[in-house]
């Protein structure tokens, strides 16, 4: 997780530091992408991905470099752990023909592949080559050195590659490739890697990348499957900027309603089986005498067909201002957490609140009041008089960065040991007028959990956020 957060921070600094005046046009196009999800408590799971690619095109020379790291774990058991690095140099012989040198290194702990290194020569031809579309075929010979399942092999291999790229529009590009590398004297012994994806440009330097990769090894290690499928969605950053996309600035739309929704998603299948989904929705309506606050979050994670996270939280609140800063509110909360064995917890309440700070760029409020809790925990249904309390903080650090934080509590006055807490923190990094990259963390604590359940749960996730 630290590696993913470090890359996100690094890309953010690059975005702030970059300017057309200080970065002249370069034949290099460098792009990085990252995604992460994390949960701990009653479930312990993590999923991270890092991707980096570089392309150099000048005169008759082309260089392609790429690297990616995929990792996920569930309750301490690794379900995905692969690393790949590859490179290729092509020299144009004619307008369509080219020859090249290629190399790659791949390791997959879950597939029991300690390493596979390939090095080869290729001859290629562009079937289509214009400003919007390219389609090429390559073939060649090479060597492969691998250690899989504790056994080492040196192989002479054939290499057949097909690549396709098409600019759908000014802001959308699709790409696809297939690499088939059979053993030189036995085409039934082969590796196959097929990839496809779409890059949707958000701004001059940022894009949303969605891709799918399929890998097949006809001779896997003992006890391992032949195929693996990975679906990724994350934020992509281009160091030199995406072609034909220029910054247009942001425009604000005056409207009392402000709504944002975010999505994060990941999938692995084959030797590793995992999926993660994160959805959130926040909406607010404000005017001088009242405000309406709506929010919901859903997090789901599954590893090897075992559910690690399945939580839904939702809140609705109406506040009527008694003065410039004080208000009377009515709220309704809902929680379902499968791993904590909470079938439902519904908490209607009435609160009295006050804004300690209420400025355009920063707010801090506290509130408390009576309510009723209806719940089913560990198969036991209960309802009781309760006290609700909350603290909420928002800070617009600058025009591109926003931080939100909240802490809420539900207390049972008749039983001091029966209480629950929930804390949220959220950082939004603005990409355009409507889109942001969101990093969010949630912590929940139940002092009287269901039998054989832990008291606390933590979730960290990232995703793309749409504001409208």
pLDDT 10s digits, 171-212: 778 889 999 999 999 899 899 999 988 877 766 767 667 788
Q: Is the pLDDT of residue 255 over 80?
A: no
Place of tokens 């209480």: 419
What's the pLDDT at 355? 94
Contacts of 199 (CB under 8 A, 6+ apart): 172, 173, 175, 207, 208, 209, 236
Instruction: Summarize the confidence of residues 384-403 as an average pLDDT.
Output: 90
Most confidently predicted of 149-158, 203-212, 305-314: 149-158
Residue ranges and CATH numbers for the domains of the chain are 2-18+29-238 (2.40.160.40), 260-467 (2.40.160.40)
- What is the model's pLDDT at position 42? 62
372 or 308, which is more confident: 372
Q: Which helix (H) or strand (E) holds 14?
A: helix 2-17
Distance, in Å, from the CA atom of 415 to the CA atom of 257, rounded to the nearest integer, reads 40
Confidence of residue 45 (pLDDT cuts 50, 70, 90): low
Least confident of 219-233, 325-339, 393-407: 219-233
Residues 6+ apart with CB under 8 A from 378: 341, 449, 450, 451, 453
> Which residue in 93, 84, 31, 33 sits closest to 62, CA to CA?
93
The number of residues in the chain equals 468
Which pLDDT does position 308 carry in this prediction?
72
Q: Where are the beta strands (DSSP E) in 287-400?
A: 290-303, 306-321, 326-337, 342-358, 362-377, 380-398
> What pLDDT, on the 0 to 100 scale, is given for residue 267?
61
Average of per-residue pLDDT across 66-80: 79
Q: 16-26 burial by CB neighbour count: b if 16+ within 10 A, else e? A: eebeeeeeeee
8 Å CB contact between 121 and 89 = no
Report CA 362 to chain centroid distance, whole Å: 28
Q: Select from 142, 136, 140 the least CA-distant residue to 160.
A: 140
d(CA 136, CA 90): 12
**Dist. CA 461–CA 264, nearest whole Å:** 8
What distances in angstroms separate CA 452 from CA 343, 351, 415, 449, 458, one per listed residue?
Answer: 15, 34, 21, 8, 18
- On average, the pLDDT of the chain sits at 82
d(CA 342, CA 376): 6
CB 413 within 8 A of CB 387: yes
Burial profile 120-131: b = 16 or more Cβ within 10 angstroms, e = fewer:
bebebebeeeee
Task: Report the C-alpha gap between 450 and 25 in whole angstroms.
Answer: 61
Which residue's entry shows tokens 């097929």?
194
Per the CB < 8 A criterion, the answer to whether 371 and 349 are in contact is: yes
Residues near 397 by Cβ (< 8 Å), separated by ≥ 6? 403
Tell me, what's the pLDDT at 30? Answer: 79
**Got the DSSP string for 372-411?**
EEEEEETTEEEEEEEEEEEEEEEEEEETTEEEEEEEEEEE
Digit-coded pLDDT (tens) for 28-40: 877 777 666 665 6
Q: 6-15, 76-85, 210-219, 224-233 — which is least confidently predicted?
A: 6-15
3-state secondary structure of 52: strand
Look at phi and psi of residue 14 and say left if phi exceeds 0, alpha if psi is from -120 to 50, else beta.
Answer: alpha
Residue 333 CA to residue 315 CA, distance in Å, equals 4
Ordered DSSP codes for 152-184: EEEEEEEEEEEEEEEEEETTEEEEEEEEEEEET
């Amino acid at each position: 997780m630290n590696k993913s957060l470090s890359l996100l921070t690094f890309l953010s600094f690059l975005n702030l530091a970059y300017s057309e005046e200080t970065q002249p046009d370069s034949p290099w196009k460098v792009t990085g992408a990252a995604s992460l999800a994390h949960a701990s408590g009653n479930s312990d799971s993590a999923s991270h991905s890092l991707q980096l690619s570089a392309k150099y095109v000048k005169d008759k020379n082309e260089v392609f470099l790429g690297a990616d790291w995929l990792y996920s774990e569930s309750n301490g058991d690794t379900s995905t752990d692969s690393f790949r690095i590859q490179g290729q140099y092509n020299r144009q012989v004619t307008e369509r023909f080219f020859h090249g040198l290629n190399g790659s290194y791949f390791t997959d702990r879950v597939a029991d592949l300690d390493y596979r290194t390939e090095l080869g020569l290729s001859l290629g031809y562009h079937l289509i080559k214009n400003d919007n579309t390219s389609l090429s075929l390559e073939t060649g010979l090479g060597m492969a050195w691998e250690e899989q399942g504790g056994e080492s092999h040196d192989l002479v291999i054939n290499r057949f590659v097909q690549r396709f790229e098409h600019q759908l529009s000014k802001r959308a590009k699709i790409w696809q490739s297939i690499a088939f590398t059979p053993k030189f004297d036995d085409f039934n012994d082969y590796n196959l890697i097929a990839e496809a994806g779409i890059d949707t440009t958000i701004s001059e330097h940022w894009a949303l990348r969605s891709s799918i990769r399929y890998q097949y090894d006809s001779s896997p290690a003992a006890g391992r499957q032949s195929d693996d499928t990975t679906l990724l969605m994350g934020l992509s950053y281009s160091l030199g900027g995406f072609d034909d996309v220029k910054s247009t600035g942001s425009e604000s739309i005056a409207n009392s309603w402000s709504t944002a929704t975010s999505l994060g998603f990941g999938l692995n299948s084959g030797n590793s089986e995992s999926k993660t989904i994160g959805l959130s929705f926040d909406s607010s309506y404000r005017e001088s005498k009242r405000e309406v606050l709506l929010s919901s979050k859903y997090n789901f994670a599954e590893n090897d067909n075992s559910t690690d996270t399945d939580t839904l939280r939702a809140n609705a609140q109406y506040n009527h201002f008694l003065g410039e800063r004080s208000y009377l509110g009515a709220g309704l909360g809902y929680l379902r957490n499968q791993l904590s064995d909470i079938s439902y917890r519904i908490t209607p309440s009435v609160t009295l609140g006050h804004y300690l700070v209420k400025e355009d760029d920063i707010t801090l409020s506290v509130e408390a009041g009576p309510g009723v809790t209806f719940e089913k925990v560990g198969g036991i249904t209960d309802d009781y008089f309760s006290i609700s309390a909350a603290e909420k903080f928002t800070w617009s650090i600058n025009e591109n960065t926003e931080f939100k934080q909240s802490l809420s509590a539900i207390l049972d006055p008749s039983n001091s040991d029966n209480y629950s807490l929930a804390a949220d923190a959220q950082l939004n990094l603005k990409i355009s007028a409507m889109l942001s990259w969101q990093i969010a963390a949630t912590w929940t604590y139940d002092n009287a959990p269901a039998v054989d359940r832990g008291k606390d749960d933590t979730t960290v996730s990232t995703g793309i956020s749409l504001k409208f």
